[in-house]
C-alpha cells in the first residue's frame, strides 16, 4: 500500500517538474517542421546525460535542431565541421606561446561548450573521432599537462552521412557504442514539406525564445533519476539485451548465424536511462514496457554486429530488434 502512495506522489511530482517539456516542444515547433521523433530523442539525451548520433541525408534540419535547442536553454553552442584534414587540436585546443608572458598558454578549442554539433563525424579520420569520444566519455579534456572539466550540461549530437556515401570513414564499434542512441531520420511527409516551403517564403524566419537555463536541466536530471523502474521492467530490459547475445535461448534460432556480436552492457544501462527520460517526457513517474519498446531501436541498432550472412540476406539490426520485441515476453 505504501508503495502505491509513493508512486502516486512521485507521479504527481514528475507531472509538475516536467511541465517545461511542453514549453521546449512549443519553442522547437516554431522552427522545426515535423521531425518530432528527432526532437524527442534530443531531449532524452539531454535529460539522461547521453549523446546522440543522427544518421540521415543532408538537409533534414539536424543542425537547426540542436542550434535551436541550445538557444531555448541559453547554453553555449559549438558547431564543428568534421573533414578529412581535421586534427585533434582543432577540436580540443592546444598550447600556444605567448610572447607577452614568455610562456605557453592554453588556447581552448570548440569542444568547450554545452552543446556540440559534430557535423559529418564520419568524414574525419579515427584519431579525431577518438579525441571527441574521449571528451564525451570522461567529460574532460587534457591539453598539455592540464586537465579541464567540461561544463554541464554537455551534449554531443553527431551527424553522419549514410555509410554508402563517398569519402566516409565507418565509426569503429567501440566508439559508436558510446552514443546513447543512434537515430535514423527520414524525409518529411508531403504536408510537412509544404509547411517548410511556406515557412521559407515568409519575409521573416521564426526564431526560438530562451525559456530555460542550463541549471534547470541539471536539476531536471536529478528528478529523472527518481522515475520508478519495477523489477519486472529490469528483467524485461535484461531479456532484450541477452536475446541479442544468445538468440537460441529465446527461440530466435534463425538469428544465431546473423549476429556476430550482441549488445554491450552499455545497452542495458542506456535502455533503462532512456526509458526513465522517455517516461518523464510523457509526464509519468514510472516506466512501462511501452517506453522500452519506443526507444529500443534507437538505443540498440548501433550495438548489434551483423554477420556476412545477415548482410547477404539484407537483414538489418532493426529487423532483429523488431523480432526480439515480438518474441521476448512482455511483463
pLDDT in tens, 80-104: 988 888 888 888 888 888 888 778 8
Cell of 264: 554491450
Look at domain 226-327 and name its CATH class: mainly alpha
- Each domain of the chain, given as residue ranges in start order, spans 36-186, 226-327
Q: Which residue has the cell 579525431?
A: 128
What's the whole-number mean pLDDT along residues 231-259? 91
Query: What pTM value is reported for the model?
Result: 0.87
Cα 106 from Cα 177, distance rounded (Å): 31
Residue 4 has pLDDT above 70, yes or no: no
Q: Could you tell me the fold of the domain covering 36-186?
A: Rossmann fold (3.40.50)
- Asked if 113 and 150 touch (Cβ cutoff 8 Å), the reply is no
Residue 139 has pLDDT above 50, yes or no: yes
Matching fold, domains 36-186 and 226-327: no
What's the whole-number mean pLDDT along residues 203-221? 84
Residue 185 has pLDDT above 80, yes or no: yes
Percentage of the chain exceeding pLDDT 70: 96
C-beta neighbour count of 67 within 10 angstroms: 18
- Asked if 292 and 241 touch (Cβ cutoff 8 Å), the reply is no
Amino acid at each position: 500500500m505504501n508503495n502505491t502512495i509513493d508512486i502516486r506522489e512521485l507521479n504527481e511530482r514528475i507531472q509538475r517538474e516536467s511541465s517545461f517539456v511542453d514549453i521546449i516542444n512549443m519553442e522547437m515547433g516554431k522552427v522545426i517542421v515535423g521531425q518530432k521523433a528527432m526532437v524527442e530523442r534530443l531531449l532524452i539525451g539531454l535529460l539522461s546525460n547521453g549523446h546522440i548520433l543522427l544518421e540521415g541525408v543532408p538537409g533534414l534540419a539536424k543542425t537547426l535542431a540542436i542550434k535551436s535547442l541550445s538557444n531555448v536553454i541559453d547554453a553555449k553552442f559549438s558547431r564543428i565541421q568534421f573533414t578529412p584534414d581535421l586534427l585533434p587540436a582543432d577540436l580540443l585546443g592546444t598550447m600556444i606561446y605567448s610572447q607577452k608572458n614568455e610562456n605557453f598558454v592554453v588556447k581552448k578549442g570548440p569542444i568547450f561548450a554545452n552543446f556540440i554539433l559534430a557535423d559529418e563525424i564520419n568524414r574525419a579520420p579515427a584519431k579525431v573521432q577518438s579525441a571527441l569520444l574521449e571528451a564525451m566519455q570522461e567529460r574532460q579534456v587534457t591539453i598539455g599537462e592540464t586537465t579541464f572539466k567540461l561544463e554541464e550540461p554537455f551534449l554531443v549530437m553527431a551527424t553522419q552521412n549514410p555509410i554508402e556515401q563517398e569519402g566516409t570513414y565507418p565509426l569503429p564499434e567501440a566508439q559508436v557504442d558510446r552514443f546513447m542512441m543512434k537515430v535514423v531520420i527520414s524525409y518529411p511527409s508531403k504536408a510537412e514539406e509544404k509547411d517548410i516551403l511556406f515557412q521559407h517564403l515568409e519575409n521573416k524566419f521564426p526564431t526560438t525564445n530562451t525559456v530555460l537555463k542550463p541549471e534547470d536541466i541539471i536539476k531536471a536530471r536529478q528528478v529523472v533519476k527518481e522515475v520508478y523502474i519495477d523489477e519486472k521492467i529490469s528483467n524485461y530490459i535484461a531479456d532484450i539485451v541477452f536475446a541479442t547475445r544468445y538468440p537460441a535461448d529465446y527461440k530466435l534460432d534463425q538469428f544465431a548465424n546473423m549476429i556476430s556480436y550482441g549488445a554491450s552492457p552499455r545497452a542495458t544501462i542506456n535502455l533503462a536511462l532512456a526509458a526513465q527520460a522517455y517516461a518523464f517526457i510523457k509526464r509519468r513517474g514510472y516506466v512501462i514496457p511501452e517506453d522500452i519498446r519506443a526507444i529500443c531501436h534507437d538505443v540498440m541498432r548501433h550495438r548489434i554486429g551483423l554477420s556476412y550472412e545477415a548482410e547477404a540476406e539484407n537483414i538489418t539490426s532493426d529487423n532483429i530488434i523488431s523480432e526480439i520485441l515480438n518474441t521476448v515476453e512482455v511483463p
